[in-house]
Amino acid sequence: MENDAEFWARYRGISSKLRRRFLRKPNLAEAGEQFGHLSKELKQQDCLQYAGFCSLAQARCEQAVMNGLGEAETLTEAARLLLRAEVDNWTLHLPSLQEALQSSCNAFNCAIKVYTELRQTTMAASLCLDLAQSLKLMGKDGEACVFFRRAAELQYETPFASLHSLGQAASCCLLTHDYEGALTLYTTMQQVAEEKAPRLPGNNAPVGAFQDIIASNEISRVLLLMLVQPPPQHLAPEHARTLENYAWSALDSPGHARSQCLPEELFILLQSVVMACQEKDVEALRVLQKELWPLLDKNQNDILHLLICEMGHPSGLGY
């Protein structure tokens, strides 16, 4: 496309075919096809934002002729083109008012809605993840969290995929310092994993990958509870039960209190972290950090590090 004026002239030329004329209905199919051809031409010329606008116009034509699948497909194409345009600007550090990103998010939302109405939840969830990953790449972790959570809701029939999306959402919460939100998400993951996990006959312990998920989430939840320190009157029952396992009284009966999913050494180290927090013993936490570091994932190590920093601050954590 040589210039903006040429594009808009062709765009308006096609749009004029959509106007109602006396005793004549607009030829929606022809206009949609022409918008599609123009979009492909612009895409080949790397004019992604204009190509996206043409795909949006094509989607409106598909909607007008009641072609739900065609509408969803063209909305998806528009959303991805506009998102690519915004990511390219971001990668090159070009100034941007983010109109393409806003238009892309709107198109993604519309496509997700249409696919959901068509009962194609797998495709809808995939679009949520596509947008969430790109938003996270651009440092928009709060916005990304919304779409990771939405993907998890759409993946209810595939627990592993849903748990992975919830984990991504929790990571976004940590990056935005929304520790209560992260705690809520890890708790939801714990409940889903415990509900779906296959169990060993006899001791009813979870097995397989679900066991690893439950163990990882328990570690994250304990560390976040130490960081957030919700007041007793606002402590959720499931959080109270978790903390009871790590209380002083649990030392006398480790076999009864210890989580079935955590190795004994790790459980004792976490129990020591809880007691060190209760005693406001920063030096003990620093010693425990060295032992726990190789046993925790990145997010958990970050939480523990923040916990030590906060406790070492003169204002403390308000225990």
pLDDT grade, residue 126 (50/70/90)?
Answer: very high
pLDDT grade, residue 2 (50/70/90)?
Answer: low
Q: Which two tokens stand for residue 108?
A: 């993604």
Give the residue from 96, 119, 142 where a domain finishes.
Answer: 119
Same domain flag for 22 and 114: yes
Distance of CA 25 to the CA centre of its chain: 44
Residue 283 lies in a domain: yes
Same domain flag for 184 and 315: yes
**Which structural domain, as residue segments, surrounds residue 248?**
177-199+206-230+240-319
Same domain flag for 105 and 181: no
Q: Domain total for the chain?
A: 2
Q: 5-9: long-range contacts at Cβ-Cβ below 8 A with a sequence spacing of 24 or more?
A: 7/42, 7/47, 7/50
Instruction: Kindly tell me if the per-residue pLDDT of 24 is higher than 50.
Output: yes
Q: What is the mean pLDDT of residues 34-60?
A: 93
pTM: 0.87
Best CA proximity match to 16, nearest among 26, 4, 3, 24: 26
Q: 26-31: long-range contacts at Cβ-Cβ below 8 A with a sequence spacing of 24 or more?
A: 28/61, 28/64, 28/65, 29/61, 29/65, 31/57, 31/61
Angle, helices 4-15 vs 28-44, to 10°: value is 160
Residue 267 lies in a domain: yes
Give the residue from 74, 90, 119 where a domain finishes.
Answer: 119
Instruction: Kindly tell me if the per-residue pLDDT of 246 is higher than 60.
Output: yes
Cβ 225 vs Cβ 184: under 8 Å: no
Q: What is the mean pLDDT of residues 183-199?
A: 89
Q: Which two tokens stand for residue 64?
A: 């007008």
Give the residue from 86, 101, 119 where a domain finishes.
Answer: 119
Residue 150 lies in a domain: no
Same domain flag for 84 and 215: no
Residue 89 lies in a domain: yes
Same domain flag for 19 and 90: yes
Same domain flag for 217 and 112: no
Residue 95 lies in a domain: yes
Residue 45 lies in a domain: yes
> What is the amino acid identity at position 146?
V
